[in-house]
């Protein structure tokens, strides 16, 4: 599908598995036209959660039916707890009951939880079925819907069971963000500012000036923020699809953040984007504490994250002190860890992150204690 006026097309270059990410307003209404060429039979199972389906399900159904595409909804409960073995088994069984075959298509219609869950189900359904991402949160539009990472959580950690399975198409409709709660917008913004912090100082500076406009959903600012984020992710994914090198930089803040999520129970107390915001601030301050990054740059990163209303300290995440040793144990289960050694994404300066291997667990624990952990 060629991009229409006001719609940005960003291609993820992966050879014969390349696909387009379309960013703009009104894309849900054009979903039938965009998806029809991908369908061998005019039908799709749409995996969504109760909240998103209640708000936008009728609009998507109407768009698909206008193109002659039958819609089979598979609706799940909202929230991170759905992204589990139990949730995967439930979705897989319901897809099997629909008697989809490998020539059919699954549509993931929701935020990151739905995208990860539906994408993983697509990866393993009859050894692989195509899927389309229609992300409905800012976080999903700029991060989780692009790049083919799919996964579920386990009691031992976040996203530890999954597969790389690229979508055939991503439709990032900016209109749908109008119904997104402010807290969810802030969570998405954490992933937006991440791109500036890890590799584009100019974008970081732009966000320092325009971040409030992005959070206020001003159309031009929002469109630029989403498109630039997707451009950066597409470039990195095309270079390093399975995270053997540069793609690991996209995990800036996630080693700290995932540990905080594990300790707070993957629930409403700490949303993923909030954990990433705190994790990035901690990563910059840890970099400074290790003499890797100027302290004034770490302070500037922290201030920019805080300006978006995101937590930047352990005390803001939980009034009850975290145990430093428990957080470090969670970090040892991180997917980037190798041979029992901690791997962090740290920073040399604003806009220049790097992969730090064999990080001393004692240094990490001491830093966390300085930050207020017990």
- pLDDT value at position 243? 79
Question: Does 168 have pLDDT greater than 60?
Answer: yes
- Average pLDDT for 111-124: 97
Annotation says 258 is catalytic: yes
Per-residue pLDDT band for 341 (boundaries 50, 70, 90) equals: confident
Q: Tell whether the model's pLDDT for residue 257 goes beyond 90.
A: yes
Q: Is 247 one of the annotated active-site residues of the chain?
A: yes
- pLDDT of residue 156 exceeding 90, the answer is no
Look at the block and give the residue holding tokens 């050894």: 127
Model's pTM, two decimal places?
0.93
3-state secondary structure labels for all residues of 199-217: HCHHHHHHHHHHHHHHHCC
User: Which listed residue (168, 224, 228, 258) is catalytic?
Assistant: 258
The conformation of residue 141, written as its DSSP 8-state character, comes to: I
Strands 130-135 and 105-110: parallel
Q: Is the pLDDT at 342 greater than 70, yes or no? A: yes
Q: Clarify whether 41 is annotated catalytic.
A: no
Q: Identify the active-site residue in 272, 285, 330, 335.
A: 272
Pairing type for strands 149-154 and 157-164 reads antiparallel
Find the catalytic residue in 165, 247, 330, 335: 247
254 included as an active-site residue: yes
Pick the catalytic residue from 231, 251, 330, 336: 251
Decide if 127 is catalytic.
yes
The catalytically annotated residue of 56, 83, 149, 224 is 149
Buried b (16+ CB within 10 A) or exposed e, 79-90: ebebbbeebbeb
For the ranges 124-133, 200-209, 242-251, 310-319, which has the lowest average pLDDT? 242-251
191 is a catalytic site residue: yes
Q: How confident is the model at residue 335 (pLDDT cuts 50, 70, 90)?
A: low
pLDDT tens-digit map of 29-41: 999 999 999 999 9
The pLDDT, as a whole number, for residue 223 is: 97
Annotated active-site residue 243? The verdict is: yes
Q: Mark out the alpha helices in the chain (DSSP H runs).
A: 31-35, 50-66, 85-97, 112-124, 138-139, 182-199, 201-215, 219-239, 254-264, 272-289, 295-307, 314-317, 324-332, 361-370
Per-residue pLDDT at 339 exceeds 80: no
95 and 45 Cβ atoms separated by less than 8 Å: yes
The pLDDT of residue 334 is 74
Active site residue 251: yes
Decide which of 245 and 261 is more confident.
261
Averaged pLDDT, 98-105: 92
Active-site residue identified among 80, 184, 191, 241: 191
Is the confidence at residue 2, as pLDDT, over 70? Answer: no
């Amino acid at each position: 599908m060629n991009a229409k006026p006001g719609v940005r097309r960003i291609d993820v270059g992966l050879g014969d598995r390349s696909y387009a990410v379309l960013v703009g307003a009104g894309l849900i209404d054009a979903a039938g036209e965009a998806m029809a060429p991908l369908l061998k039979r005019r039908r799709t199972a749409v995996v969504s959660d109760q909240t998103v389906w209640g708000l936008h399900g009728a609009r998507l159904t109407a768009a698909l039916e206008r193109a002659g595409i039958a819609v089979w909804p598979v609706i799940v409960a909202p929230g991170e707890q759905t992204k589990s073995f139990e949730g995967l088994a439930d979705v897989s069984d319901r897809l099997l009951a629909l008697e989809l075959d490998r020539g059919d298509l699954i549509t993931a219609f929701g935020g990151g939880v739905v995208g990860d869950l539906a994408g993983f189900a697509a990866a393993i359904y009859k050894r692989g079925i195509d899927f389309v991402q229609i992300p409905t949160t800012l976080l999903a539009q700029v991060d989780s819907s692009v790049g083919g990472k799919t996964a579920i959580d386990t009691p031992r950690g976040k996203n530890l069971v999954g597969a790389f399975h690229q979508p055939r198409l991503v439709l990032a409709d900016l209109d749908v963000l109008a119904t997104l709660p402010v807290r969810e917008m802030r969570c998405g913004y954490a992933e937006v500012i991440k791109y500036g912090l890890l590799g584009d100082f100019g974008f970081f500076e732009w966000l320092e000036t325009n971040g409030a406009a992005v959070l206020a959903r001003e159309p031009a600012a929002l469109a630029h923020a989403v498109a630039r984020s997707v451009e950066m992710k597409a470039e990195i994914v095309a270079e390093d699809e399975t995270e053997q090198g540069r793609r690991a930089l996209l995990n800036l803040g996630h080693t700290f953040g995932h540990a905080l999520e594990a300790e707070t129970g993957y629930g409403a107390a700490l949303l993923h984007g909030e954990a990433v915001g705190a994790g990035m601030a901690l990563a910059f301050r840890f970099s400074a504490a290790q003499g890797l990054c100027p302290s004034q740059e770490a302070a500037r990163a922290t201030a920019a994250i805080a300006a978006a209303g995101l937590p930047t300290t352990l005390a803001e995440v939980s009034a009850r002190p975290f145990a430093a040793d428990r957080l470090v144990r969670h970090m040892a289960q991180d997917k980037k860890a190798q041979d029992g050694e901690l791997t962090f994404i740290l920073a040399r300066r604003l806009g220049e992150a790097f992969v730090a291997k064999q990080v001393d667990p004692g240094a990490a624990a001491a830093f966390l204690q300085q930050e207020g952990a017990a």
